Amino acid sequence: MGAKENADLVRRGYAAFSAGDMATLTELFAEDAVWHVPGDGGLAGDKKGRDACFAYFGELFSRSGGTVRVDVHDVVGGEEHTIGLHHVHAERNGRVLDDEIVLVFHLRDGRVGEVWEIAQDAAAGNDFWS
């Protein structure tokens, strides 16, 4: 796939995540996908396999009482890697998380194979999700 197709795939993934559309996410993620969450907070670590990635997404919604929201700024497509830039907002136990996030997607065979999550304020995210 080319850069445009990769950017379109990532945009579809963002839309599916926001809509809770697990059927589309299942179509977009490789079964052996890996999602890397940095830091030492309660959700940090490597999520190995599509089911583990989806469990991580579920924890974001569960821990935030369904308030987690991503607003996409831009998606920059590449031949092997595509970058997603978004703002995340969530509320939990009277606290609010507002942060800028970069996701680096490694795409293979038309699916998400690996993702590295990079937060502007990793310490705030670690604290918020723990």
- Tally of structural domains, the chain: 1
Entry pTM? 0.94
H or E stretch at 71: strand 69-76
Q: How far apart are CA 74 and CA 83, in angstroms?
A: 8
Per the CB < 8 A criterion, the answer to whether 49 and 31 are in contact is yes
Which CATH number covers residue 80? 3.10.450.50
Query: Does residue 128 surpass a pLDDT of 90?
Result: yes
C-alpha separations of 110 from 47, 79, 128 in Å: 20, 11, 33
Domain that residue 92 falls in: 3-129
pLDDT in tens, 1-55: 799 999 999 999 999 999 999 999 999 999 999 999 998 888 999 999 999 999 9
pLDDT one-digit tens code per residue, 71-116: 999 999 999 899 999 999 999 999 999 999 999 999 999 999 999 9
Task: Assess contact for 109 and 101: CB atoms under 8 A.
Answer: no
Q: Dihedrals φ, ψ of 41, to 5°?
A: -80, 180
Return the DSSP state at 62.
H
pLDDT at site 73: 97
